[in-house]
Structure formats: structure tokens, C-alpha cells
Structure 1
Amino acid sequence: MKSVFLIALILALSSCQGAEVAEPLAAQDRSFSSVILEGVEAFRGVLQNGSPKYGVPVMAPMKLNERSFEFSSGEFSGTIGVEGFELQGLDQYEVITLKMDLIRSRCEFEFNFGSVNVTTDYDLDMGSGYRFKRDGGAFFALENLNIRGRVSYSLGVLSGNLRVKDILIYPSVGNVNSQIENLSKYRIFNRKLNEVIEEFVTLTINDNTDFVASWVSEQATPICNDLIGDRTLSDIIAIITGGN
């Protein structure tokens, strides 16, 4: 999860470096737009290949052989295990907007993902007054996922060290596709349960954007600063470009 936050931060800040180097690059007939585009395309390569030097794993696709998670929420608690987990689509983004405000030290961005989807086998063991156990295959997709937001940052006057002040992310989703097997032994009930999941996830994302923005900022800002450590903005760009 920490790697995901760092990746999101790098993507947003790639435009910042573009703004800062745009003037000297103009002498080489390279426009501001081309600088941003190159940074974003280079970041796509980081998603596909990772950056071992900086501890960023391959995220497109992201694979997990086997993992289990415990959860507890009110009366519901249990364990869910996944095997053959594969997350696709993080590198298939369209850049809608990348705007840099050097005076206020912030970047505004908007990206659209055609489909961010998960394929896996699952094993669910849940207790809610009675034991509920299910297992099977699963496919789950967020389609036409839109991510817009803003990253505010500061740079040390002498050290040049990068610090994130806040991260605001406002997501919305066009469609949710849930195909989870064996939620019920009856096919018609299984489809209805998947429809309930689709509606719940859609409403949760689209009707709670302000809450998500506040929660992400609270959680992600200290994590990103911890991951950045003593790195400068140039170091962050080195992650994007593979050191070039």
C-alpha cells in the first residue's frame, strides 16, 4: 500500500519538474507540454517495470501468489485469502489535465483509467452470528475510473528536500463490474448479490468524494513524506526516468 501512495505521488509531481525545467528546455525547442508528456510516459514504464533502486515494485500488472487478510467491522469479522491475484490497468491511463502552480507550490491533475480490474481465486471465512464460508474465482473491475486531485508541496530553501503538505484525491467511477463466483449456490441469487456489490461500490465512491479526499490526505501525506525521506525533487524525477 505504501508503494501505491508513492507511485501516485510520483505521477502527480512529474508535472512539477516539467514546469521547473520548461524555460531552459525551451532553448532546445522542447515545449512545456512535451516535457510533461515525456514524464508521464516514463512513469508508465515505472509501473510496468518497477524501480528496484527505490523499492518500487512492478504494478502493471501487480501479482500476488498467495495472501490472506483479516478484517473486523462491527459484527462482521473473518479472513479472506487470495491466490493467483492479478491487478491490471494501472498503466492504462489517459491524462486529462496536468497543471502546475509554481507560486502556490502545487500540482492539479486529472487522469482517467479505462478499466482497473482484479482477477483472483478467493477463500472467505466470515463470522457474523453464524459461520459463512465461500471460495471460488472472482473478477472485479472499476471501469471509467476518474481520478482528479491536487498535491501541495514545499521545497527546502537550502537542502532542496521535498515535502508533501497535503494530497487531495477525488475519485469517481462510471461502472462497476463484479463477477464473484459462489457467493450463493443458486446462480440467480449469486448474480443479484454481485449486483448489490456493484451498486454499493458505485455509491460509496461517487457519493463520498469529499470523505475520500480527506481520508487520503490524512493517511497518505505522512506515508509519502516517510517514503521520500531526504530525497529531493530531482531524486523523485530520477525514479520516473530510471535515473536519466
Structure 2
Amino acid sequence: MKSILLIGLILALGSCQGAEIAEPLSAQDRSFSSVIVDGLEAFRVVLQNGSPNHGIPVMAPMTVSQRSFDFSSGEFSGSIGVEDFTLEGLDQYEVVAMKMDLIRSRVTFEINFKSVNFTTNYEVDMGSGYRIKRDGGAFFALEDLNIQGRISYSLGVFTSQLRVKDILIYPSVGNVNSQIENLSKYRIFNRKLNEVIEEFVTLTINDNTDFVASWVSEQATPICNDLIGDRTLSDIIAIITGGN
């Protein structure tokens, strides 16, 4: 997952400022926009085929044959198990906007996913004074998922070493589709419970964008700088344009 984060960061920052990148880009007769477009298309292929050299598995679709999770929070405890889990849609994105601000040293972008969804068979065993056991099939989708964001960066005066200052991500979702079987043995109640889940997820994403942006920045910024290491801007450009 860290490798994926680094690749995404490289794609966004690869068309940065300065004379240091002007020469390699002009030599290949490629504009800033074409570099980003080519990089994003290459990343789509990485999602579809994986990249063993970078430790990235196939993620479009992402499949998990079986996995279980134990949880304990206050009075609640239990386990959740999934089988034949398939996540789709990570490669089906549209770049709505990608803009470099050379003076302010930042990248702003907007990416839209038509549908990010998963199907699975699940089993839940939860206890809170009484025991609840449920199992069945499930389909869940975030439709028209929009990601707007900004990455601010800085370059060393003498070395052009790249440092990320902050990463702000603002998500929103157009529609949530929850079709989880056997939440209740009564069909009408099961549909109502799915509607509650849909409303809860929609409000959680759309009404907490500032919290998500702050949390992502705190978590992702140090990880990205650690992964960038001693790479300079030239190194980043070399990666995007085929050097590595």
C-alpha cells in the first residue's frame, strides 16, 4: 500500500517546476500535461496487472479468498469473516482536473470514480449482552466517488530534493448502494437496514471532508517523505518518463 501511495504521489508531482525538469521534458518533446496523462494511464495498467518489482499486487479487481477480523470496543466484541471478496472500480477513474501552481509549489487535482464496489460472502458473530450471528452475500458500492485534493511540496535550494509539505484530500460521494443479505430475517426490515447504512455512509463521507483531509495529511505526509527518501526532482522525472 505504501508503494501505491508513492506512485500516486510521483504521478502528481512529476510535472513540477524549474529548469531542472525543462531540459528532459523538452528533449522528449512532451508537455507537462502529457507527462501526467501518460503517468496516470501507466498507473491504470499497474492497478490492472500489478507490479511485482514494487510489491504491488493486482488491484483491479482486487480479490481475497478468505479473511477474518476480530474486534472489541466497549461492550461490543466479535468477529467478521469474508470469503470470495472482490473489489472493483479502482482503475475506472476520470481525471477531471490537474493543475500545477509553480509559484505556490502545489498541485491541485480532481479525480472521479464511476463506481468503487465490492461483492463478498460474509459471516458476523457479535456479542453485546446477547449474541447476533448473521451470514450471507453482500454487495456495496460508492457511486460517483469524487476526490478533490491538493499536494504542497518544496524543493531544496541546492539539491532539489523533494519534500511533501501536506496532502489534503476532500472526498464526496453521489450515491451509496448497499445490498447486504440477512441483516434481518424479514425482507422489509432488511431493506430498511440497508437504507440506514446507505444514509450513514453518505453523511459520514460528505459531512466530514475537513476531518478526512486533516487525517490523511497527518498520516500520509510523513509516509510519502519517508518513501521519497533522498530522491531529487530529476529522479522523480526519470521514474515517470521511463528511467525506472
TM range (shorter): 0.7 to 0.9
2:130 aligns to what? 130
Counterpart for residue 94 of structure 1: 94
List per-residue Cα deviations over 1:111-169 (Å, max 9, x = no partner): 00000001111111112221111111110000000001112233455665543322111
* 1:81 corresponding residue in structure 2: 81
Alignment partner, residue 153 of structure 1: 153
Q: Which moved more, 1:44-53 or 1:131-140?
A: 44-53
Query: Which residues of structure 2 form unaligned runs of 5+?
Result: none
Residues 161-215 of structure 1 deviation map (CA, whole Å, 9 limit, x = unaligned): 5433221110000000000011111111111100000000000000010011111
1:77 CA displacement: 2.5
Larger Rg: 2
Change (3 A) 1:103 1:203: same
Change (3 A) 1:27 1:219: closer
Aligned partner of 2:187 in structure 1 is 187
Residues 28 and 90 of structure 1: CA distance in aligned 2, closer, same or farther (over 3 Å):
same
SS of 2:15 mapped into structure 1: helix
- 1:48 offset after TM fit, Å? 1.1
Name the counterpart of 1:70: 70
Shift of residue 100, structure 1, vs aligned partner? 1.8
Q: Aligned residue for 1:52?
A: 52
Q: Which residue of 2 is the match for residue 17 of structure 1?
A: 14
1:113 is aligned to 113
Unaligned runs of 5+ in 1: none
CA contact (8 A) 1:22 1:31 kept: no
C-alpha deviation, 1:12, in angstroms: 4.3
Change (3 A) 1:104 1:57: farther
Indicate conservation of the 8 Å contact 2:35/2:241, yes or no: no
2: CA distance, partners of 1:28 / 1:121: 50
What is the CA-CA distance between 1:23 and the residue it aligns to?
6.0
Distance in 1, matches of 2:58 and 2:241, equals 15
Aligned length: 241
Q: Sequence identity, in percent? A: 79
Give the stretch that moved more between structures: 110-119 or 74-83. Answer: 74-83
| CA distance 1:89–1:243, shift in 2 (3 Å) | farther
2:14 aligns to what SS in structure 1?
Answer: helix
How far has the Cα of 1:43 moved from its partner?
1.1
Report the CA distance shift for 1:227/1:23 in structure 2 as closer, same or farther (over 3 A): closer
Q: TM-score, normalised by structure 1?
A: 0.87
The answer to whether the 8 Å contact 1:93/1:111 transfers is yes
Q: Determine if contact 2:10/2:240 at 8 Å carries over to the other structure.
A: no
How far 1:22 moved relative to its partner? 5.6
Does the C-alpha gap of structure 1 residues 221 and 32 become closer, same or farther in structure 2, counting only changes over 3 Å?
closer
Are 2:216 and 1:219 equivalent residues in the alignment? no
1:59 counterpart SS class = coil
Equivalents in 1 of 2:241, 2:196: separation in Å? 43
Match of 1:7 in 2: 4
Shift in CA distance, 73/151, structure 1 to aligned 2, threshold 3 Å? farther
Give the CA deviation at 1:221: 2.2
Question: Over the residues paired in the alignment, what is the CA RMSD in angstroms?
Answer: 2.5
After TM superposition, the structure 1 stretch with the greater mean CA deviation from structure 2, 41-50 or 232-241, is 232-241
Distance 2:234 2:53 in 1: 15
